[in-house]
Amino acid sequence: MAPFAPTGPDKQLWQRLDRAHTEATTPLARDEVAAIVHEIIANMAGDVSATDLKLYNELEALARYIQHAKAEIAAINPDDIRSNHIPTATDELDAVVGATEKATNTIMDGCDVIGGLAAQVPPEIGQKLTEVVTGIYEACNFQDVTGQRITKVVRALKHIESKIDALVVAFGEQVGASAPTPSTQPLAAAPGAAAGGDPDGYLLHGPSLPGQAIDQDEIDRLLASFD
């Protein structure tokens, strides 16, 4: 194995300590060694250039910026957006498509009945009924178009979700679930906000998704049970 051969400041330090050992009559005290080290470090300052110092400052500022960004991202709680808000939004939009589809079919069922009656009434009335029914069928086009638009929005939300996933992976656990959940923070600004701070409280959370609530028959039975 090659003998240890210090270079630069290390070499300086070893030479200085060797000389001190040679000159000293007794082993060096801790204070004496510390003084030598301080002296060498003080001399090292001359080896750091202005460019190096600027670079160190830039790196330090960059590190602070990244730390600040991580703190801000953690504050918006991306994990909550990914695991709660986006799935909820997509479920709600899917429910919109389902509900409008059901309503459209109910409307068309009605049109079929009216169309059948059109043949049983005087021709001029029957003709008018047929025209009205045709107009309703035409209007029902909206369901397919809005459905496709909503599907696009759902796709965009899923894209955002994948980007948030990547963000969480890139920044690590500290931007995950550690931050407080925004949805649980008091937000009293909305008029009529319910107790507990839910800004949508006055909406009674809107229509429930299928399977997440009881239906009218169950509500009626429940109310009747109090009588």
Partner 1 sequence: MKILVVDDYATMRRIVRNLLSQIGYTDVDEAGDGVTALQKMREAKYGLVISDWNMEPMTGLQLLKEIRADVKLNATPFIMVTAESKTENVIAAKQAGVNNYIVKPFNAETLKMKIHAVLGG
What DSSP character marks residue 190?
Answer: S
CA–CA gap between residue 200 and residue 203 (Å, rounded): 5
Determine the distance from the C-alpha atom of residue 37 to the mean position of all C-alpha atoms in its chain, rounded to a whole number.
Answer: 51
Using the rule CB under 8 A, give the single segment among 9-17, 147-155, 179-187, 188-196 that binds partner 1. Answer: 147-155
DSSP output for 20-76 = HHHH-SSPPPHHHHHHHHHHHHHHHGGGS-HHHHHHHHHHHHHHHHHHHHHHHHHHH
Query: At its nearest, how many Å lie between partner 1 and the CB of residue 154?
Result: 14
Query: At its nearest, how many Å lie between partner 1 and the CB of residue 119?
Result: 13
What DSSP character marks residue 208?
Answer: P
CA–CA gap between residue 155 and residue 161 (Å, rounded): 10
Measured distance between the N- and C-terminal CA atoms of the chain, rounded to whole angstroms: 96
Give the residue, chosen from 93, 101, 126, 179, that forms a contact with partner 1 under the rule CB under 8 A. Answer: 101
Query: At its nearest, how many Å lie between partner 1 and the CB of residue 213?
Result: 25
Which residues ranging from 109 to 128 are in contact with partner 1 (CB under 8 A)?
Answer: 111-112
Using the rule CB under 8 A, give the single segment among 53-61, 102-110, 186-194, 211-219 that binds partner 1. Answer: 102-110
Q: Decide if residue 147 touches partner 1 (CB under 8 A).
A: yes
CA–CA gap between residue 105 and residue 109 (Å, rounded): 6
Give the residue, chosen from 142, 162, 188, 202, that forms a contact with partner 1 under the rule CB under 8 A. Answer: 142
Q: Decide if residue 104 touches partner 1 (CB under 8 A).
A: yes
Radius of gyration of the chain (CA): 38
Q: Closest CB to partner 1 among 15 and 127?
A: 127
Give the residue, chosen from 13, 81, 133, 175, that forms a contact with partner 1 under the rule CB under 8 A. Answer: 133
CA–CA gap between residue 114 and residue 89 (Å, rounded): 37
Q: Decide if residue 154 touches partner 1 (CB under 8 A).
A: no
CA nearest neighbour of 47 among 85, 2, 12, 76:
12
Q: Decide if residue 204 touches partner 1 (CB under 8 A).
A: no
Q: Which two tokens stand for residue 29?
A: 């005290």
Q: Decide if residue 130 touches partner 1 (CB under 8 A).
A: yes
Q: Closest CB to partner 1 among 9 and 110?
A: 110
One-letter amino acid for residue 156 of the chain: A
Q: Decide if residue 106 touches partner 1 (CB under 8 A).
A: no
Query: At its nearest, how many Å lie between partner 1 and the CB of residue 86?
Result: 23
Q: Decide if residue 134 touches partner 1 (CB under 8 A).
A: yes
Binding site for partner 1 (CB under 8 A): 101, 104-105, 108, 111-112, 130, 133-134, 137-138, 140-145, 147-149
